[in-house]
Amino acid sequence: MKGDISLSNFFIFNSSYGCNEGEEHKKILYYFPEKDDLDVQIKNIGLVEAIIQFTGTFKPSCPVNSLHTQKKRQLYFQPEEGFWMVMTLTTPFIDKTKDGTSTREYIENDIQDNVYQAVLRQTYSMYKLFNGSFNNTLQKSDIPTLKSKLEKFYVTYLKSLKLTHCDILNIFNGIQFLPLDKQNFLNVQCFLNEIECDNSLIDSTLFMFNDHVIWSGLEPDDLQTLYQYLVHIFLPSYMETELQGGSMPRNPSSPFALYHGRFINGPQNLKTAKVVGKFPKIYLTKKKKPALYNMLIYRTLSASVCLFIEDEKDITLPFLRELDESMGTKLTPIVSAISEYCSQQISSVNNLSEYAPRFIYFNKMNLAYKSTTHLDNKQTGNLACPRDSIKIISDMNSKKPTLDYAGDIIVKTMNDYWVVGRLSNLREFYITIQQKNANLIDISEQDLQPYGTEMVTKIRLPVGWRYGQQTVLKRSAYL
């Protein structure tokens, strides 16, 4: 029998509430699972408060991040002053039987703190995108309203977490961009500029093709969170509904009548609609302050265009019909040209053998990432290299502070894989190579440029160290 990583509990509290004896329950703002008795909830929060206060006496400037036990891993995050978010995970295990005796072995190394700390931070970022900060809600309303918002959001969001398949991509929380030729990119930019100029209601836009961003007018932090929501939650659920026939008209008069494009949120049918309906509302940064926007998503073939309109502006049916008519006729040829261009590009990745090198690249300056170690962008565990190599990459990422602004780390695994990590300023590059008879010098001198890196470094004197049972060489470097 084998047990995977699962969510034991998740809660949010504020110690400044319910300070009097008998009022400890007032500290609880949200708690999962609801089936836990109130006494259990109070005890769990009280234990966390004690841990935070105790560890804070040693290093007040660095709050505690996690607590390790044999069966559980608890992670802490303070998103705002006074508010704490806590996520408790069950440690994966394997039941073994030897000489008629069953034993349970817990695999603590499968839970990497930096990976699941990133997951915990993302739970706050996603909430903030749709509801604003905790303090913002309290300034406009009261604690019961905050509790209601937390429950409404997390009761659904927690179900979308794929804890078993979380890895280095959660740490990066990056964005996949689609590089185009000049003409196609210019077509997209001109189309969006025309839409914004002709419709003063539209504040900014986002253009995506499949799971890739082509153009965005949002702040990087806003785009980072919104991209994760669209790619991992909204668009997959929409595509599932579409494939089941829930949102597509049946028996079209011609194959081209099916898709000149449509809004996939708001009114189901603009021609017969009598009311505008509701659009998702999100908080975006405007002049360095959060502002509430309506998000309209228009879909044509494999492209999604997000339009952001300030909440106080009135959206009418005539406006939507005019926008639909304009976008539908102009967008279809643009998307068709992009699709044709992409199909003409020969991807060497698709032709790689099972043992070919695989890489992950991340640029923190623009939040762009590219990966050939992951065969899709859905976090389904569909990997092109051993999962142990991906775990090593996450551990390498946690060692960045020891490399200053540039350097590299090389690891040899027990199954003849070499994992190379390189850091240059705010860019990271990791590659997995399987070479049975290679040595450290062979890997060190191998040209990694064909696999996507442009980080060429001059190496200083090496310093050897041990990484578990793996042989590691850490090298500081400079450009």
pLDDT digits (tens, 9 = 90+) for 10-42: 999 999 998 888 889 999 999 999 999 999 999
SS3 45: helix
**What does the CA dihedral 236, 238, 244, 246 come to, rounded to 10 degrees?**
170
Rounded CA-CA distance 205/188 in Å is 11
The span from the CA of 190 to the CA of 199, in Å, is: 14
Residue of 299, 361, 355, 368 whose CA lies nearest to 331: 299
Positions of the chain with pLDDT under 50: 246-258, 348-349, 452-479
pLDDT at position 265: 87
Structure tokens at 475: 């090298």
pLDDT reported for residue 395: 94
- pLDDT recorded at residue 181: 93
Other beta carbons within 10 angstroms of residue 260's beta carbon come to 15
Q: Let me know: does 63 contact 78? Beta carbons within 8 Å.
A: yes
Structural contact between residues 126 and 229, judged by C-beta atoms closer than 8 angstroms: yes
Q: Which residues have a Cβ under 8 Å from the Cβ of 21 and sit 6 or more positions away?
A: none
CA dihedral 381, 385, 386, 388 (to 10 degrees): -90
| CA–CA dist 142, 440 (Å, integer) | 61
Instruction: Give me the residues paired with residue 285 across strands.
Output: 290
User: What counts of helices (H) and strands (E) characterise the chain?
Assistant: 11, 22
* Residue range 132-146, pLDDT digits in tens: 999 999 999 999 999
- CA distance linking residue 208 with residue 388, whole number of Å: 32
Q: In whole angstroms, what is the distance from residue 266 CA to residue 277 CA?
A: 5
List alpha helices for 88-181, DSSP H: 113-131, 134-140, 143-157, 168-172
Report pLDDT for 239. 79
**Cβ 111 vs Cβ 3: under 8 Å:** no
Q: Are 416 and 409 in contact (CB under 8 A)?
A: no
Q: pLDDT at position 380, please?
A: 81
Query: Three-class SS of residue 150?
Result: helix
- In this structure, the number of other CB atoms found within 10 A of the CB of residue 149 comes to 19
Please tell me what DSSP assigns to residue 89.
E
